[in-house]
Structure formats: structure tokens, C-alpha cells
Chain A
Amino acid sequence: MSVFYFVAFLSVFFALMTIFTKNPVHSVLYLVITFFTFTVHYILLNAQFLAVVNFIVYMGAIMVLFLFVLMLLNLNKDTEPLKSNLVKFMGVIAGMCILVTLAGSFRVLETSQPVVLKDPDIGLVGNLGKVLFSEFLLPFEISSILLLTAMIGAVLLAKNEAKKA
């Protein structure tokens, strides 16, 4: 039980470091650590498939893509023009407002049922595969079209156009 609170503290800490660090490369690395703590959360929930996919897709693919673009654009310096302190202060106030609104609307402070794994097997690969390929077969196929579209779009967008513009 205390493992959850420790990992949650680490997640919040590294998420804060992600958005408050000046250097973009450090920011990406802190985000990688944040995603790793999320993987630990999935393991604690016994969602093994999600833990592995989170580890491979988020930490492996997406973060490498971010880091690659940062290095490609040569942005690994603290060259970001900062917003004024007033705008930052207002941003933090607005974020706190949304936190209070969410906490209030979900009635977080009342006592609730503890999370007990009724069926510890639902997060395993076999069980999820059965659900995915029977109940959610159509969305699964459509998501393949989505990924194809994204791939074509990314290639078209990033392609170096012949000097016409």
C-alpha cells in the first residue's frame, strides 16, 4: 500500500520537474522517468500488458521521437524565450483551479472503497487479447487505418519540398 504512495510521490515530483526545467533535453529525460513510474503503477494494478506496452511505446518510441526532434532542431540549449512572471502565475492559478474543480466534482475527500483486484487475471495478455479480438475487433481494425493515415501524414508533412514556395 505504501508502495503506491511512494511511486505516486515520485510521479508528481518528476512531472513537476518536467514542466519547470529550463533545458528541453532535461525536460524530456524527466518525462521518461515519469512514464517509468507510470509503468510501475500499471504493474501494481497487475495490468501486465499495459505495463509492457507503456514501457515500449511511450518510453521506447515516443520519447525517442521527442529527443530525436529536439536534437535534430538543435534546441538543446536554454534558448526558450520565457513567458512573463504574471502569465506564469496566472497559469499556475488556472491549473490549481482545475485541480480543485476536478477534486470537488469527484468528491475526492470522502471515504471510498479500496481498490481490490476482483479478478487479478484481467490485465494479462491472454485475457485482454480475447476481449480485444472479439468485442473490440472493429475499433482495432480502424485504429490500424488511423496509424496508416498518421504515417502518411507525417511523411508528407516532413518531406522537404522542392523549392517552390
Chain B
Amino acid sequence: METVIQNIQGVPLNHYILFCSLIFSIGVIGVLIRRNVIIIMMSVELMLNSVNLLLAAFSAYKGDASGQVFVFFIMALAAAEVAVGLAIIVMVYRNTRSVDINALNRLRG
């Protein structure tokens, strides 16, 4: 336990911000360059997770437990989002026989 706490001492807060920005940007790139809807949702999960980690880091930095409670709520939200999103994907696949994002442009007028 003490060694774990010793290990984290000294990482500057900016490195956490930079790392989480990097993961967030990777998520954005994933949304932009892939066409499989499931992988796009996975990229969204990546973005949510980077924000979670940054909230936890700020919470530890400030010594305030509210940040970690927020992370808990975001996890509950992500679970709900994934359940509904995957149900929508299954329905779309049943109708169009594809998970290509370009098959979903029928709503345009």
C-alpha cells in the first residue's frame, strides 16, 4: 500500500492532462476514420474513459471525493448508453444487413 502511494508521488498534473487529452484525441480519430458502428461506439467509450481518469486524477490532486463520485455516475451512464446503443445497432442490422455507418443516411430529406 505504501509503495503504491509512493509510486504516484511526483507525476506532474500536466502529464495527466496530456495523457488524457491524447486518449481523448485517439477516440475522436477512431470516430472519424472508422465506418463500423460498433467500433465507433468503442471509440466513444475510450473518450468517456479518458475523462473518467482525468476526473479521478483531479479528485486525488484536490483531496475531494466528489470527483470520484462523478466517475461512478459516468460509468452508470456509459452502461446505459451501451445497452441502448447496441440494441439500436442490432435493430439496424436486422433491417439493413450491415453495420456500415453509410447505410444510416436514409433520414436525410
Interface residues of A in 69-91 (CB under 8 A from B): 69-70, 72-73, 75, 80-83, 87-88, 90-91
Contacts of B10 in A (CB 8 A): 1, 114-115
Q: Are A81 and B100 in contact (CB under 8 A)?
A: yes
Interface of B is mostly: helix
Q: Within the complex, what minimum Cβ distance (angstroms) separates A162 from chain B?
A: 13
Q: Are A44 and B7 in contact (CB under 8 A)?
A: yes
Known: A1-B7, A47-B56. A150 touches B33 (CB 8 A): no
Residue from A82, A117, A149 in contact with B8 in the complex, judged by beta carbons closer than 8 Å? A117
Q: Within the complex, what minimum Cβ distance (angstroms) separates B65 from chain A?
A: 4
Known: A115-B11, A146-B77. A157 touches B88 (CB 8 A): yes
Interface of A is mostly: helix
Q: Within the complex, what minimum Cβ distance (angstroms) separates B62 from chain A?
A: 8
Q: Are B68 and A122 in contact (CB under 8 A)?
A: yes
Q: Are B59 and A47 in contact (CB under 8 A)?
A: yes
Q: Are B21 and A102 in contact (CB under 8 A)?
A: yes
Contacts of A140 in B (CB 8 A): 73
Q: Are A94 and B32 in contact (CB under 8 A)?
A: yes
Q: Within the complex, what minimum Cβ distance (angstroms) separates A161 from chain B?
A: 9
Q: Are B7 and A131 in contact (CB under 8 A)?
A: no
Contacts of A111 in B (CB 8 A): 12, 14
Q: Are B32 and A95 in contact (CB under 8 A)?
A: yes
Q: Are B56 and A16 in contact (CB under 8 A)?
A: no
B104: Cβ under 8 A from any A Cβ: no
Interface residues of A in 26-53 (CB under 8 A from B): 27-28, 31, 34-35, 38, 41-47, 49-50, 53
Q: Within the complex, what minimum Cβ distance (angstroms) separates B16 from chain A?
A: 7
B107: Cβ under 8 A from any A Cβ: no
The 6 A-B residue pairs with the shortest CB-CB distance, nearest first, are: A91-B32, A95-B29, A150-B80, A19-B30, A118-B63, A157-B87
What residues of chain A have their CB less than 8 Å away from a CB belonging to chain B? 1, 3-5, 8, 11-12, 15-16, 18-19, 24, 27-28, 31, 34-35, 38, 41-47, 49-50, 53-54, 57-58, 61-62, 65-66, 69-70, 72-73, 75, 80-83, 87-88, 90-92, 94-96, 98-99, 102-103, 106-120, 122-123, 127-128, 131-132, 135-136, 139-140, 143, 146-147, 149-151, 153-155, 157-158, 160
Query: What are 25 A-B contacts defined by CB distance under 8 Å?
Result: A1-B7, A5-B15, A18-B30, A19-B27, A24-B38, A42-B53, A44-B8, A47-B68, A54-B75, A62-B45, A65-B83, A72-B90, A73-B89, A75-B36, A80-B36, A94-B32, A99-B24, A108-B14, A108-B17, A117-B5, A117-B60, A120-B5, A147-B79, A158-B90, A160-B94
